[in-house]
Chains A and B, each alone.
Chain A
Amino acid sequence: MTAPAAIEVIGATRRFGRRNAVEDVSFTVPENSVTGLLGRNGAGKTTIMSLVSGQDRPTSGEVRVFGEQPFENGRILSSMSFVRDNQRYPEDYYLRHVLDVAPRFHERWDAELAARLVDGFRLPAKPVVKKYSRGQLSALGIVLGLASRAPITIFDEPYLGLDATARAMFYDALLQDYAEHPRAVLLSTHLIDEMESLLERVVIVDKGRLIREDSTEDLAGAAFTISGIAAAVTGFVDGRRVLREHRVGGLLSLTVEGALSPAEKAEARDAGLDLAPARLQELVAAYGADLANENEGARA
Chain B
Amino acid sequence: MSAVARIPSPVDVVRMHVVKRRAVFVTPLLIVAAVFVVTTIISLALQRLGTPMEDAAAADGARNNPAVAWALSGFVVSLGVMAVSTAFPFSLALGTTRRSFTVGTLLSNAVIAAYFTAIFVALLGLELLTGHWFAGIHLVDVYALGAGDVRYLVPIVFLGTLALMSIGSVFGAAWIRFAAPGAATLGVALGVGLALALLLAAPVLPDIAAAFRVWWLAVAAVAVIALASAGTLLFLRGASVR
* A56 and B96 alpha carbons, distance in the complex (Å): 13
Task: Select from chain A the residue with minimum beta-carbon distance to B4.
Answer: A107
Q: Does B93 contact A (CB under 8 A)?
A: yes
Give the A interface residue count (CB, 8 A).
46
CB-defined interface of B8-31 with A at 8 Å, one 1/0 digit per residue?
100010011101101100000000
CB–CB A50/B240 < 8 A: yes
CB–CB A75/B8 < 8 A: no
* A144 and B95 alpha carbons, distance in the complex (Å): 12
Q: Does B41 contact A (CB under 8 A)?
A: no
| Residue from B1, B90, B94, B98 within 8 A of A151 (CB atoms) | B1
CB–CB B3/A151 < 8 A: yes
Which among B43-51, B81-89, B189-197, B218-226 touches the partner chain? B81-89
CB–CB A92/B23 < 8 A: yes
CB–CB A101/B19 < 8 A: yes
Q: Give the shortest distance, in Å, between A102 (CB) and chain B (any CB).
A: 6
Chain A residues touching B, majority SS:
loop
Task: Select from chain A the residue with minimum beta-carbon distance to B98.
Answer: A72
Task: Select from chain A the residue with minimum beta-carbon distance to B17.
Answer: A90
| Residue from B3, B15, B90 within 8 A of A79 (CB atoms) | B3
CB–CB B93/A83 < 8 A: yes
* A94 and B3 alpha carbons, distance in the complex (Å): 30
- Most chain B Cβ neighbours within 10 Å, of A75, A104, A151: A104
CB–CB B1/A182 < 8 A: yes
CB–CB A87/B90 < 8 A: yes
CB–CB B93/A74 < 8 A: no
| Residue from B3, B93, B98 within 8 A of A81 (CB atoms) | B93
CB–CB B241/A50 < 8 A: yes
Q: Which residues of chain B are within 8 angstroms of A75 by Cβ–Cβ distance? A: 3-4, 7
CB–CB A106/B94 < 8 A: yes
CB within 8 Å for A105 and B3 given contacts A56-B241, A90-B90: no
CB–CB B99/A91 < 8 A: no
| Residue from B6, B97, B242 within 8 A of A77 (CB atoms) | B97
CB-defined interface of A47-82 with B at 8 Å, one 1/0 digit per residue?
000100111110000000010000011111111111
CB–CB A90/B86 < 8 A: yes
CB–CB A81/B82 < 8 A: no
- Most chain A Cβ neighbours within 10 Å, of B3, B7, B22, B87: B3
Q: Give the shortest distance, in Å, between B237 (CB) and chain A (any CB).
A: 8
CB–CB B94/A81 < 8 A: yes
CB–CB B16/A90 < 8 A: yes
Q: Which residues of chain B are within 8 angstroms of A93 by Cβ–Cβ distance? A: 20, 90
- Most chain B Cβ neighbours within 10 Å, of A93, A94, A105: A105
- Beyond the given A77-B97, A92-B20, A151-B3, please list 11 additional residue pairs across the A-B interface where CB-CB is below 8 A: A50-B241, A56-B241, A74-B7, A79-B4, A80-B95, A82-B92, A90-B90, A92-B22, A97-B20, A144-B93, A151-B1
| Chain A interfacial positions (CB closer than 8 Å to B) | 31-32, 50, 53-57, 66, 72-84, 87-94, 97, 100-102, 104-108, 144, 150-151, 181-184
User: Can you list 20 A-B contacts with CB-CB less than 8 angstroms, sorted by A residue number?
Assistant: A50-B241, A53-B92, A55-B240, A72-B97, A72-B99, A73-B97, A75-B4, A79-B95, A81-B94, A81-B95, A87-B89, A87-B90, A92-B23, A94-B20, A101-B19, A102-B94, A104-B8, A106-B4, A108-B4, A150-B95
Give the 6 A-B residue pairs with the shortest CB-CB distance, closest first. Answer: A105-B94, A56-B240, A79-B3, A92-B23, A74-B7, A151-B1
